[in-house]
Amino acid sequence: MLLKGLTEELTSNNYNVIDTALNGAIALELITKLNPDIAILDIEMPLLTGFEVIKKCEDKNLKTKFIVLTSHKESRYIFKAKTLNISGYLLKDEPFQEIQKCIHTVFNGEHYYSSTFNDVFDKEISPKIQKIKLLSPSERTIIRLIANNKSSKEISESLLISIRTVQKHRSNIINKLDLSSDQDALSNWVSTNKLLLASI
């Protein structure tokens, strides 16, 4: 229904809708074949997600620019969109005028993000990135290993350092990230922010 409604709105406003797709695999096939100026994708699609389609298109060096139309406001989705350098990110509950503004802006080579997107990035993601930047090279190595589910013993063996040194690093990381002293606080933070850690 959303696809049908969006297609009708675009067509009635004189946009050239060259095709539509009911799943990510068909979307990838059509984008590769037709090379549209702009493709509007949902994140949640059968077979391939919107992000997977965009990544595969980037790997093919296609010139198509992407707008994501989604219900997801969570920071992990917004950071992923930023990492992929997606041209537009809009929420499904926004009016059609916002989609028009986004298409126009993206077509002219600029980025257009929902105000929610910018709020989440500025208030949730950017502060975390700044805290991660405070970590020393050794601490970054250790937090990456924690992200790979390595225990303190496994980390000490792989880095040839004592468990006590690993624990000292963990304590420093917890302080720099402003986490609680709860035993699982660091593991939980790492699990939630794996995408951020992969970027450092």
pLDDT per position as a tens digit, 116-151: 888 888 888 888 888 888 899 999 999 989 988 888
Whether residue 199 has pLDDT greater than 70? no
Phi and psi, residue 59, nearest 5°: -60, -25
pLDDT per position as a tens digit, 158-176: 899 999 999 999 999 999 9
Residue 68, classified by CB atoms within 10 Å of its CB into exposed (0-12), middle (13-18) or buried (19+), is buried
Residue 147: per-residue pLDDT: 87
Tokens at 126, concatenated: 């950017």
One-character DSSP codes across the chain? -HHHHHHHHHHHTT-------SSHHHHHHHHHHH--SEEEE-SS-SSS-HHHHHHHHHHTT---EEEEEES---HHHHHHHHHTT-SEEEETTS-HHHHHHHHHHHHTT--EE-HHHHHHIIIIIHHHHHHHTTS-HHHHHHHHHHHTT--HHHHHHHHT--HHHHHHHHHHHHHHTT--S-TTHHHHHHHHTHHHHHT-
Mean pLDDT confidence for 4-26: 93
Tokens at 69, concatenated: 């139309």
Say if residues 23 and 45 touch (Cβ distance below 8 Å): yes
Say if residues 176 and 134 touch (Cβ distance below 8 Å): yes
Residue 74: per-residue pLDDT: 86
pLDDT per position as a tens digit, 44-59: 999 999 999 999 999 9
Neighbours of 135 (CB within 10 A): 19
Q: How far apart are the C-alpha atoms of 128 and 121, rounded to whole Å?
A: 10
Residue 185: per-residue pLDDT: 86
Whether residue 29 has pLDDT greater than 70? yes
Taking the CA atoms of 195, 143, 145 and 190 in sequence, report the sign of the dihedral they define: negative
Q: How far apart are the C-alpha atoms of 105 and 19, rounded to whole Å?
A: 21
pLDDT per position as a tens digit, 86-101: 999 999 888 899 999 9
Residue 200: per-residue pLDDT: 61
